[in-house]
Structure 1
Amino acid sequence: MAHTLSNPEGLHDPVPFGYSHLAETSGELVVVAGQYASDAKGGVAVEDFAGQVELAFAHLGTALEAAGLGYRHVVRLGTYVVDHDLGRLEVLGERVHAIWGGKPPAQTLLGVATLALPGMLFEVDALAVRD
């Protein structure tokens, strides 16, 4: 299956970190790499967990838009939470419900000890399907 790798404007350049933001296939699938609360240079822009969740999902929206898609096209999320606890689960749940309402995509949440960069507390990746 043919595919295209790309890095949308409005998101940091991830190539120095060893990945691309989007993988689009010639079919229906679009894979969005892990999005986090990155600044324009790829550093962590926000310190608090809730702020990181909000910005990571905003970046997810930017990546989806670059592929001609929206949040409604997402069928699966992978979420990664440093020092996961019920408080952080509540913050994540509120953001997911704000975006998808009562029909959220399938999701796997992994509690992790650390993520790629110091200060990262949250990351989300997605699988989307074209209409």
Structure 2
Amino acid sequence: MENNKQPQLINPAELFNPEPYGFSHSISVKSPFQMCFISGQSGGEGENHVLTDDFKMQVQNALKNLKIVLQSHSMTFENIVKITLLIVDHNQEKLEIWVAEAKKVWKGTFLPTSTLIPVSQLALPGMLFEIDAIAVK
């Protein structure tokens, strides 16, 4: 009999394989709630993690990737209780882009707690945005 209280690694097939880089896209924990800890999702697309130099597009892609991970846990954006944003060369224009895109996915009054950290660079050349999350169900 499998112990359903053990942490479960979930790496959706639609996203690149993170194992060679030493992390998982997400981990679920049930005790007594299902908790999902999601690694930073960037604006890269596909197995090769192709990045555009457009900040808005990277935010949109990162949210799309975050949604894929959430769905792999049978969760939605409404299950997210905490996010951390990393923005390269943060400024007011980028903040406004983030807020506009966030309002498209969080439409209700239950909004996650949030921390925004301006950074000079991220893990890969060309990455402009990254979001990690904790979700609970």
TM-score in terms of structure 1 length: 0.93
Unaligned runs of 5+ in 2: none
Q: CA deviation at 1:14?
A: 0.9
2:122 is aligned to 115
2:128 aligned partner, one-letter code: L
2:11 is aligned to 7
Structure 2 residue 64 is matched with structure 1 residue 58: yes
2:82 is aligned to 76
1:19 to 20, 23, 34: 23
2:55 aligned partner, one-letter code: F
Higher mean alpha-carbon deviation, 1-10 vs 15-24, is at 1-10
1:90 aligned partner, one-letter code: E
Structure 2 residue 103 is matched with structure 1 residue 97: yes
1:48 to 36, 47, 54: 54
Task: Give the total of aligned pairs.
Answer: 130
Say which SS state the counterpart of residue 134 (structure 2) adopts: strand
Q: Which one has a bigger Cα radius of gyration?
A: 2
Unaligned runs of 5+ in 1: none
Q: CA deviation at 1:39?
A: 2.5
TM-score in terms of structure 2 length: 0.89
2:94 is aligned to 88
Q: Distance in 2 between matches of 1:100 and 1:33?
A: 19
Aligned residues with identical type, % of pairs: 34
How large is the RMSD of aligned CA atoms in angstroms? Answer: 1.3
Q: Distance in 1 between matches of 2:22 and 2:55?
A: 25
Structure 2 contact 36–134 (Cα < 8 Å) conserved: yes
Higher mean alpha-carbon deviation, 49-58 vs 13-22, is at 13-22
Structure 2 contact 82–134 (Cα < 8 Å) conserved: yes
Say which SS state the counterpart of residue 50 (structure 1) adopts: helix
